[in-house]
């Protein structure tokens, strides 16, 4: 299984004002593609913060995805930060310029938009079927837009080429028993199924509480067995205290 990190770039996400849409999408897609997403970092629009996150993650993980900060305004500093991380200049990419020219037409291709044709030297374009301006790949770093509809389209345009593994599958069991009552039984089942990752997530909703037990793994047969054991364990708890 290959591993990956996601770097979400932007003051607006980091401030908590705008909800991040990248992790919910890319996290799910990584499961389907058999890519193990091991870390997500949310960093501000500050070159040194972006450079450090990118350089740490690209040395550590097979794939690094970034979202945000590749638009035409002054606060879009991702491109120049990625170039700085790789120690290369930003250059106008003829292919990117051609795409913008086609998308906007000559009359509407102003200076600000042309800025989106500038990418780090040596980078390869990532298609943007939504709004023309491409993302780019620099070695193992995939640089994509932050606007959700564009981020998703860009991710899909690279998904087929990402090295992955068998898809990560999951099963969910919901119970009203308290987490502390499940704890010993769940720990024992986890021990018997080391290839299945078992998580326990309490929730409080409209005055009522419960636990979602989530089992994850790549082997459907093992998952089915582990799920059956969880359900049997819950059945025993029901009988102890109905």
Residue ranges in contact with its own copies by CB under 8 A: 10-20, 23-28, 30-31, 37-45, 49, 71-76, 110-113, 115, 147, 149, 170, 179-184, 186-187, 190, 197-204, 214, 216
Smaller CB separation from its own copies, 121 or 174: 174
What minimum distance in Å lies between the beta carbon of 123 and its own copies?
A: 21
Smaller CB separation from its own copies, 137 or 181: 181
Smaller CB separation from its own copies, 52 or 124: 52
What minimum distance in Å lies between the beta carbon of 142 and its own copies?
A: 17
Cβ(78)–Cβ(70) under 8 Å?
yes
What minimum distance in Å lies between the beta carbon of 83 and its own copies?
A: 19
Alpha carbons 242 and 229: distance in angstroms, whole number = 19
As a whole number of Å, the end-to-end CA separation of the chain is 42
What is the sign, positive or negative, of the torsion defined by CA atoms of 220, 222, 223, 224?
Answer: positive
Smaller CB separation from its own copies, 19 or 121: 19
What minimum distance in Å lies between the beta carbon of 122 and its own copies?
A: 26
What minimum distance in Å lies between the beta carbon of 241 and its own copies?
A: 11
**What does the longest C-alpha to C-alpha distance in the chain come to?**
75
What minimum distance in Å lies between the beta carbon of 69 and its own copies?
A: 10
Cβ(227)–Cβ(170) under 8 Å?
no
Alpha carbons 151 and 25: distance in angstroms, whole number = 9
Alpha carbons 144 and 163: distance in angstroms, whole number = 18
Angle (CA) 61-66-72 rounded to 5° is: 155
Smaller CB separation from its own copies, 18 or 228: 18
- Other beta carbons within 10 angstroms of residue 15's beta carbon come to 10
Smaller CB separation from its own copies, 87 or 191: 191
């Amino acid at each position: 299984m290959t591993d990956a990190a996601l770097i979400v770039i932007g003051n607006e996400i980091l401030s908590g004002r705008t909800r991040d849409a990248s992790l919910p999408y890319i996290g799910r897609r990584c499961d389907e593609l058999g890519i193990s997403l091991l870390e997500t970092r949310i960093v501000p629009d500050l070159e040194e913060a972006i450079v450090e996150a990118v350089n740490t993650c690209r040395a550590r993980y097979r794939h690094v995805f970034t979202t945000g900060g590749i638009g035409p305004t002054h606060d879009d500093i991702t491109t120049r930060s990625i170039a700085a991380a790789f120690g290369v200049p930003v250059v106008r990419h003829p292919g990117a310029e051609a795409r913008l020219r086609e998308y906007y037409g000559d009359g509407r291709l102003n200076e600000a938009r042309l800025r989106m044709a500038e990418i780090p030297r040596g980078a390869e374009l990532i298609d943007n079927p939504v709004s023309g301006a491409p993302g780019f790949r620099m070695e193992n770093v995939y640089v994509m837009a932050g606007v959700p509809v564009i981020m998703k389209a860009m991710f899909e345009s690279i998904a087929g080429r990402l090295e992955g593994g068998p898809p990560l599958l999951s099963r969910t069991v919901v119970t009203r028993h308290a987490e502390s009552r499940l704890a010993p039984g769940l720990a024992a089942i986890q021990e018997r199924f080391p290839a299945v990752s078992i998580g326990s997530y309490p929730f409080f909703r409209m005055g009522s509480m419960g636990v979602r037990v989530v089992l994850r793994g790549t082997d459907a047969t093992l998952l089915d067995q582990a799920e059956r054991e969880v359900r049997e364990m819950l059945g025993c708890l029901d009988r102890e205290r109905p």
